[in-house]
Amino acid sequence: MTTPAGTASAILSRDQVLAVQDQFGTPAFVYDQRMLEARAHEALAFPNPFGLTARYAMKACPNAAIVRVLNKAGLQIDASSAFEAHRAIAAGVDPAQILLTAQELAPDFSSLVQAGVRFNACSLNQLRHFGEAFPGAEVGVRFNPGLGSGHSRRTNVGGPSASFGIWHERLERVEGLQRQYDLQITLLHSHVGSGSDPAVWQRCAGLTLALVERFPAVTTVNLGGGYKVARVAGEEATDIALAGAPVAGALQEFDRRWGRQLRLEIEPGTFLVANAGVVVSTVTDIVETGKEGFSFIKVDAGMTEILRPSLYGAQHPIEVVARSDRDGRTGEYLVVGHCCESGDVLTPEPGNPEGLQTRTLTTPDIGDALVIGGSGAYCSAMAAKNYNSFPEAPEILLDREGCFHLIRSRQSLEQILQNETLPDFLTNDS
């Protein structure tokens, strides 16, 4: 039977899981370099008739080593804040390979642009500020095409309920600012969310190309958005070749009609890193709540490492890795995290963070490892950092030769406290 991509056994052997537990302690993130590079090569094969730039949406997992691996594999960078742009530069990325598309206009955005970072205006206000700072310059513009896709409203960033991008009916105001500041709009960007429906992607591509017709200087179209991956059995993954073929056809038709060959940009995040990462944790307790209740496996990880189940009801593959030989017994368990929070549940009902759903798992002993798969994207980057004062977990890279490399150390209590200060009136005992 084929091992699901998001499971621990797709990345780590039993001996490797136990080695992580012993060598680095738990909880700990582990990422597989080979899988990261394989996904990068798949993204770079996205159908395109006139050239492709594939950008890594680094918000998914911004660790410098992950950024560096994917950049060396041929991906450029999609930064969602000025801070991410600075982190990418610190990781060794050429500023010219970074596209800054942010909800917030940072005070230092002009210094990033001067360093070579490409700017993508996400609102009329941002476009105005860019024009004032850089009249006559090239710029990208992000539009909300009026349609979006996602597995929930919280991952849908297109349509009337999303604040991302300039609403497509404000096109004339964009043209006015373009004329006022003599701007060269060379990139047009839309972002529809994180869905798996190719029909939605195709329709959004058509809506975006209709906007391009109004901007003759546009040479590049960025169809942003995530490609859904299958972490657990039953989930549907986006076939990017299938989703991309009609988009390529739309670009060819646009060229036939208008004589303009547009370069395509995509900016996946989850697709690249989700199933390349796992969290190795340790079973700290096993409790039950009687005949009418549940059996619970408590682990030393939780929403401080993986917030997605509590936020979305997201599903992650979970495996118990026993430290000693067992008789193969299994049971029905809920897996819960270490936070003093009723919502810190790692096995919610699919799509419903309020619901509970047991998993059939190997009967554990306290001290066994428990591995949570599909944890490469929006986990270490989007955790409930330092809740209950738990430190940030370390991150480890498994290289092509099977060696482990520490790429982020475990946070210390001193590091948690380092920015806190007590005012004098609270330190005065009188």
At residue 5, does pLDDT exceed 80? no
Which residues on adjacent β-strands are paired with residue 95? none
Running DSSP on this structure, what letter comes out for residue 223? Answer: E
What is the C-alpha to C-alpha distance for residues 138 and 415, in angstroms, rounded to an integer? 42
pLDDT value of residue 198: 66
Higher pLDDT, 190 or 273: 273
What is the C-alpha to C-alpha distance for residues 193 and 153, in angstroms, rounded to an integer? 9
| Per annotation, catalytic residue among 61, 204, 339, 340 | 340
Which are the contacts of 330, defined by CB distance < 8 A and separation ≥ 6?
Answer: 360, 361, 362, 363
DSSP string, 353-422: EEEE--EEEEPP-TT-EEEE-S-TTTTGGGS-TTGGGPPPPPEEEE-TTS-EEEEEPPPPHHHHHTT---
> What mean pLDDT comes out for the span 28-46?
97
Residue pLDDT, tens place only, 101-130:
999 999 999 999 999 999 999 999 999 999
Interior/surface letters 9-20, b for 16+ CB within 10 angstroms, e for the rest: bbbbeeebbbeb
pLDDT value of residue 195: 58
Indicate the residue type of 109: F
Confidence of residue 193 (pLDDT cuts 50, 70, 90): low
Confidence of residue 225 (pLDDT cuts 50, 70, 90): confident
DSSP string, 125-174: HHHHHHHHHSTT-EEEEEEE-S--EESSGGG--SSTT--SSEEGGGHHHH
**Contact present, 11 and 395 (Cβ < 8 Å):** no
At residue 196, does pLDDT exceed 60? no
> What mean pLDDT comes out for the span 285-294?
93
pLDDT value of residue 261: 98
What is the C-alpha to C-alpha distance for residues 26 and 70, in angstroms, rounded to an integer? 26
What is the C-alpha to C-alpha distance for residues 164 and 160, in angstroms, rounded to an integer? 10
Residue pLDDT, tens place only, 144-181:
887 644 444 443 344 556 678 898 889 999 999 999 99
> What mean pLDDT comes out for the span 348-354?
95
Computed from CA positions of residues 122, 74, 199, 352, in that sequence, does the dihedral angle turn out positive or negative? negative
Q: Is 161 exposed, middle or buried (0-12, 13-18, 19+ CB in 10 A)?
A: exposed
> Residue 288, SS3?
strand
pLDDT value of residue 370: 98
Mean pLDDT of the chain: 92
At residue 408, does pLDDT exceed 70? yes
Confidence of residue 201 (pLDDT cuts 50, 70, 90): confident
Tokens of 335: 């897996």
At residue 17, does pLDDT exceed 70? yes
pLDDT value of residue 235: 87
At residue 4, does pLDDT exceed 80? no
> Residue 227, SS3?
strand
Confidence of residue 323 (pLDDT cuts 50, 70, 90): very high
Smallest CA-to-CA distance from 224 within 274, 149, 116, 276 is with 149
Catalytic site residue 61? no
At residue 2, does pLDDT exceed 50? no
> What mean pLDDT comes out for the span 322-351?
95
- Lowest-pLDDT range, 161-175, 282-296, 339-353? 161-175
Number of neighbouring beta carbons within 10 Å of residue 169: 10
At residue 319, does pLDDT exceed 70? yes
pLDDT value of residue 429: 76
**Contact present, 269 and 56 (Cβ < 8 Å):** yes
Cα atoms in the Cβ-side hemisphere of radius 13 Å centred on 369:
28
What is the C-alpha to C-alpha distance for residues 298 and 374, in angstroms, rounded to an integer? 19
pLDDT value of residue 157: 43
> What mean pLDDT comes out for the span 398-422?
97
> Residue 54, SS3?
strand
pLDDT value of residue 428: 84
Tokens of 259: 């004589």
Rg over alpha carbons for the chain, rounded to the nearest Å, is: 23
Residue pLDDT, tens place only, 42-94:
999 999 999 999 999 999 999 999 999 999 999 999 999 999 999 999 999 99
Which are the contacts of 302, defined by CB distance < 8 A and separation ≥ 6?
Answer: 336, 337, 338, 339, 341, 344, 346
In the chain, the domains with their CATH numbers are 33-272 (3.20.20.10), 274-417 (2.40.37.10)
